[in-house]
Structure 1
Amino acid sequence: MGKKLCHILIVALLLFAGCAGIRIDRSLRPSAYDWMMYGGAPTRVNVTLSRIEPPLESKWEYNALGGIIGQPLVRDSVMIVATMHGELQAVELGTGKRIGYVVLESAVAATPAWDGKYVYVPSALGTETLACIGVERAERKWTAQLGSIESSPLLLGDTLFVASMDGVLHCVDSRDGKVLWKFETAVKSKRKPIRSSPASNGDVIVFGSDDGGVYCVDRAVGRLRWKHQTSGSIFATPIVQDNRVLVGSLDGNLYSLDIHTGSPAWKYQTGSRVYGSAAADRELVVIGSADGRLHALKNTSGERVWTFSAGSVINSAPLIAGDVLYFGSLDRKLYAIQTSSGKELWQHSAEGRIKVSPVLWGKTLLVTSEDKFITAYRSLQNQ
């Protein structure tokens, strides 16, 4: 090989290597708008302090070059997104331009968790299925072997709670990846997968299982506090609101359970399977169902306040932003609904089916559409 050709190849390799990495040369400032884990908080309530009034217009569209199943995470105008192609990508929120990326061991089928410095990434395949990635210098701090993970990690202080597809909830030290305790839903031969992400009020951890059970375990030691059995598998992540656990099941019901005892407060029949999580504020809980209907209920009683019909399946959680509620459907439409009344305020056709819950940071609404696009919307009223 000639010296000139060798030199060209070396330069090309260096350039290629320089593209694979995330380098953020500034400290990211926290704010009340930050979206750092699935559902926006450990309670997973899908409520934001940000506000954006419809009608909206798209400002940019980002092609992640791989399927996206989890929500984007945002702090200080930096968006983090993980893909089924096995990449963790950082994007500048103002422009939609990629800052960099990190290649992971395998596909990411859930939303990571982010503490501002490190991203905790679950993987569906491979051996090292939980990875701690530093976004400022793209270093891999540690990895853990927890089995296939298709749910989102819950970060509480220095502790991660991670549910795996072999029916085990793991408590992991976020500083070094060491497993502190494990809770097994049943003996190994009878365990079912856990697709439901854990949620918490700070004292206990709650999650659902394919076996139809809603489990509540002690945060400190992983001891079972209670279990409530439904008659269908639970894919949805529970949310915690005012000492109630709210979770939908494939049996078509939304359950409101006392977080201390597991006793049912009320049960609401949607009439169809429930795949996605709910959103809840102090007054209402809102949930979608497979027949394309969105149901708004009184938090205290489960009494129906309104329903709204979309054109196809709703299998992701809505987002409550004050008196405007945003959600997507498999009919490829993004909807803005008045939270208090269910009145449609605006709709927009997306690039593909919407299977991921929207995220609002500041004045930018981020909508993921099938199978690899994120579109940033801003209000026309702010022009």
Structure 2
Amino acid sequence: MKRIVTSILLYFFLIFTSNAFSQNKTFNAFTNRIFDGKGYQPLADLKWKFKTEGKIFSSPIVQNGIVYIGSEDGYFYAIDEKSGNLKWKFKTNGAVHSSASIYNDIVYFGSFDGHYYAVNAKTGKEIWRFKTKGEYWYSEVGMWGMKPSDLLMADLWDFYLSTPVVYLDPKTALVIFGSSDGNLYAVDAKKGALKWSFPIKVAIHSTPILEKSTVYFGGWDGNFYALDCKTGKEKWKFSTEIKTGFTGIQASAAISDGIVYFGARDPYLFALDSKTGKVIWKYNAENSWILSTAVIKDNTVYVGTSDTYALLALDAKTGEEKYRFKGNGYIYSSPAIAGNTAYFGDFSGNFFSLNLLSKKEFQVTPTENRNKYAKTILNNDLLDFSHAAKATDLSIYAENQRVMNEFYKLGPILSSPFISNNVIFYGSADGYLYAYNLKKEK
């Protein structure tokens, strides 16, 4: 690492519509981020953009002509997919850094006010709320040796809350999510009543993933767990390495062909046998945290990294690196893939459309703020923590906060894109939800 503070999304959505999907035909919009398309489709014109009053770290989800997304301003928004006009907004008393899931016309999400909510997807009316023991940024006293040593410091790279996912069986529907209070919760999807909880004693900000009757998730304790969805009983757990600055699992997992893939701060991407938890392979990310969620397509794992600014393409069976594409900053945005195109953002405010066949043809779409501030903040168009610090003492926590606030001026893209009707949607820390038309395939 070249700086004291190294460089988290995510997060996940499960979309369940009762008419279209059954227990065996669920759609998970984060681990299965493969959308319709055949050729290369970069962005065309801006269709619309919607302004919130806070940074957007959560990811959009589109259902029945409505785009759903949360903002740091404390509101959860429902926006017309075609026009970009507000349909409704729901007020919480904290930043909404959780992404949403939808089941049976109910949208589920969490807020830093300490509640997870169930809201009518059409009207925005609250159905129930579940009170946790508190939602907060992961914090340590004197984190990583920073000063003052007695100060409780929030981790500046802990961007997301866990996104609820929905487990269905013939008798019940459960909403499962992690909490900053150290519990994985399963509550009744209709009433919000607690069914079971699983404690790990430290924050769970990753989003759980479901496969059949097993739920998988990682926590800030550095462990990755497999639990029984119905009972919450542990099936197995896998431990990543614990060391200063390289502890914890923020990334959400992806599953394909009996293999579960997830990144950690330690810093590796792991491929485990989903039934046993045994390591199949692990990829050394060169002191880069892996915080984005992997996407698996054509025997290739695509995932972003922090300090190497890379979108990696790895062989799904062996973990061997096929190639990498370098952005201009940390890549925490989980990629979406349509046809031959991978879409993702970086922390410098660039949004990329990469041709996966050529590996060299790509389009860059910067935020307006990036165009405005790049020359004064970036170093040769690259994110550089030391350069932005301007020779200040990075062992002082407040100086790290100051640099992060400079970076936020660029409009970093930590939100993961969603594609619907040939339009791509993503949020930015500049407070905007963007909707771009995609060019015709070529």
- TM-score, scaled to structure 2: 0.73
Encode CA deviations 1:140-188: one digit per residue, 9 max, x unaligned. 1111112335211111232111111122111111010011111112xxx
1:316 to partner: Cα distance: 2.0
The answer for the alignment partner of 2:178 in structure 1 is 163
Q: Distance in 2 between matches of 1:59 and 1:116?
A: 29
* CA distance 1:200–1:268, shift in 2 (3 Å): same
Residue 176 in 1 paired to residue 191 in 2? yes
Residue 327 in 1 paired to residue 344 in 2? yes
Residue 226 in 1 paired to residue 285 in 2? no
Higher RCO (C-alpha 8 Å, min separation 6): 2
Q: Which of 72, 86, 90 is the matching residue for 1:102? A: 90
Q: Which of 420, 426, 430 is the matching residue for 1:367? A: 426
Instruction: Say if 2:267 and 2:290, in contact at 8 Å, map to a contact too.
Output: yes
Q: Distance in 2 between matches of 1:200 and 1:307?
A: 29
Q: Distance in 2 between matches of 1:62 and 1:181?
A: 38
The answer for the alignment partner of 2:153 in structure 1 is none
DSSP 3-state at the match of 2:270: strand
The answer for the alignment partner of 1:115 in structure 2 is 103
- The number of aligned residues is 342
Instruction: Say if 2:60 and 2:416, in contact at 8 Å, map to a contact too.
Output: no
Residue 75 in 1 paired to residue 92 in 2? no
Q: Which of 122, 138, 141 is the matching residue for 2:127? A: 141
Instruction: Say if 1:256 and 1:266, in contact at 8 Å, map to a contact too.
Output: yes
The answer for the alignment partner of 1:241 in structure 2 is 256
Encode CA deviations 1:169-209: one digit per residue, 9 max, x unaligned. 11111010011111112xxxxx2211111011122000011
The answer for the alignment partner of 2:36 in structure 1 is 49
Instruction: Say if 1:241 and 1:281, in contact at 8 Å, map to a contact too.
Output: no
Encode CA deviations 1:62-121: one digit per residue, 9 max, x unaligned. 102222221111112211112222212111111111122122243211102112511112
Q: Distance in 2 between matches of 1:354 and 1:195?
A: 19
Residue 151 in 1 paired to residue 162 in 2? yes
- Once the two structures are superposed, the pairs formed by residues 243-322 of structure 1 within 5 Å of their partners are 243-271=258-286, 272-290=288-306, 291-322=308-339
Q: Distance in 1 between matches of 2:37 and 2:51?
A: 25
Encode CA deviations 1:123-154: one digit per residue, 9 max, x unaligned. 1224xx11111132332111111233521111
Encode CA deviations 1:222-259: one digit per residue, 9 max, x unaligned. 11111110113111111111111100011121000011
The answer for the alignment partner of 1:350 in structure 2 is 367
Instruction: Say if 2:43 and 2:436, in contact at 8 Å, map to a contact too.
Output: no
Q: Distance in 1 between matches of 2:291 and 2:334?
A: 9
Amino acid at match of 1:371: D
Q: Distance in 2 between matches of 1:97 and 1:218?
A: 41
- Of residues 40-49 and 100-109 in structure 1, the stretch that sits farther from structure 2 once superposed is 40-49
The answer for the alignment partner of 1:24 in structure 2 is none
Unaligned stretches of 5+ residues in structure 2: 1-16, 136-160, 242-246, 369-410
Q: Distance in 2 between matches of 1:138 and 1:60?
A: 22
Q: What RMSD, in angstroms, separates the aligned Cα atoms of the two structures?
A: 2.2
1:42 to partner: Cα distance: 7.1
Amino acid at match of 2:314: L
- TM-score, scaled to structure 1: 0.84
Unaligned stretches of 5+ residues in structure 1: 1-27, 186-190
* CA distance 1:235–1:171, shift in 2 (3 Å): same
DSSP 3-state at the match of 1:143: strand
Q: Distance in 1 between matches of 2:214 and 2:356?
A: 29
Q: Distance in 2 between matches of 1:226 and 1:309?
A: 35
Q: Distance in 2 between matches of 1:142 and 1:328?
A: 34
Q: Distance in 2 between matches of 1:143 and 1:108?
A: 14
DSSP 3-state at the match of 2:28: coil
> How much identity, in percent, do the aligned residues show?
25
Instruction: Say if 1:273 and 1:289, in contact at 8 Å, map to a contact too.
Output: yes
Q: Distance in 1 between matches of 2:424 and 2:80?
A: 14
Q: Distance in 1 between matches of 2:55 and 2:351?
A: 19
Instruction: Say if 2:107 and 2:120, in contact at 8 Å, map to a contact too.
Output: yes
Instruction: Say if 1:208 and 1:235, in contact at 8 Å, map to a contact too.
Output: yes
